[in-house]
Amino acid sequence: MRIDKFLTETGTCTRSEAGKAVRRGDVLLNGRAVRSASEQMDPETDTLVFRGEPIVYRKFTYIVLNKPEGVVSATEDGDVTVLDLLPEQLQRLSLFPCGRLDKYTVGFVLLTNNGALAHRLLSPKHHVEKCYRFAARSPLSDEGMARLEAGVDIGGYRTAPCRVEREEDGEYYRITLTEGKYHQIKRMLEAVDNKITFLERISFAGIALPPELSRGEWRYLDENEVKILEDHGKL
Ligand code: URA
């Protein structure tokens, strides 16, 4: 693979930046300065260092983003999208959000360009757990929580059994779903005569929203987290 291709595919920089970095001697292949961005390399076995940082080749990219309110989980829209929150070089990697959060919902969004894995993670038969923290207009009774857990009618569809817990402060709740119907939690609360006032996805497939990420921030998934996703995709 050409070095400039490697650098753009890993989201490290643009093609023209790659050329400039090479000319400045900022790109090392196996410890030696690269002379031309068109030089060939083997992404699996060669070590490439860009401006002092070793660049790991990833066939696919996996990113967790802490979605702020008002941003849409789409690739294109009149509004600000989750992709707009990524740096320019990552916007060229054909990433898309794996599942949608409503505009007002905040928290965990997985962005990837691994379409086959995303498809499996979203398929109801894989039972991938998504956990949300929410607040409601009126306190939920034990009976209301039990009704949500057993499944409610959200307009012609009966939701699958799920888990609902009350947090210790009594103000927030957690709900863990293995499916993802349109506006599901909003409609589930309406089915028990209540209303969502805050909704945050706090984990996806058992991967917690990283506490160091403020709203609008992102990071790559680490190797363990990618393995968790791949294992879920196999089930
Ligand atoms: N359920 C909802 O109602 N909204 C979301 O964004 C996610 C789940």
Domain membership of residue 99 as a residue range? 62-123+207-234
Closest CA to 176 of 154, 201, 193: 201
Q: For ligand 1, atom 4, which residue shows the shortest CA distance? A: 183
Q: Quick: pLDDT tens for 6-33.
A: 998 887 888 899 999 999 999 999 999 9
Q: What's residue 159's pLDDT?
A: 97
Q: Counting atoms of ligand 1 from 1, which one is nearest the CA of 196?
A: 3
Q: Are 198 and 136 members of one domain?
A: yes
| Residue located nearest, by CA, to atom 3 of ligand 1 | 183
pLDDT digits (tens, 9 = 90+) for 142-194: 999 999 999 999 999 999 999 999 999 889 999 999 999 999 999 999 999 99
CATH of the domain at 187: 3.30.70.1560
134 with 158, same domain? yes
Catalytic center residues: 102
Which amino acid makes up residue 153? D
Same domain, 110 and 136: no
Say yes or no: 94 and 118 in one domain. yes
Predicted confidence (pLDDT) per residue in 87-134, tens digit: 887 888 899 999 999 999 999 999 999 999 999 999 888 889 999 999
Q: Which letter does DSSP use for residue 85 in this model?
A: G
Show the ligand 1 pocket: residues with CB < 6 angstroms: 101-102, 105, 183-186, 199
pTM to 2 decimals? 0.86
Structure-derived torsion over alpha carbons of residues 45, 63, 206, 226, reported in degrees to the nearest 10? -10
How many angstroms separate the alpha carbon of residue 184 from the centre of ligand 1? 5
Domain count, the chain: 3
Q: Are residues 118 and 147 in the same domain?
A: no
Q: Could you write out the three-class secondary structure of 148-194?
A: HHHCCECCCCECCCCEEEECCCCCEEEEEECCCCCCHHHHHHHHCCC
160 and 184 inside one domain: yes
Same-domain pairing of 99 and 88: yes
> What CATH number is associated with residue 50?
3.10.290.10
Q: Are 99 and 81 within one domain?
A: yes
Q: Which atom of ligand 1 is nearest to the CA of 188?
A: 3
Which residue among 17, 32, 54 closes a domain?
A: 54
Instruction: Identify whether residues 194 and 134 lie together within a single domain.
Output: yes
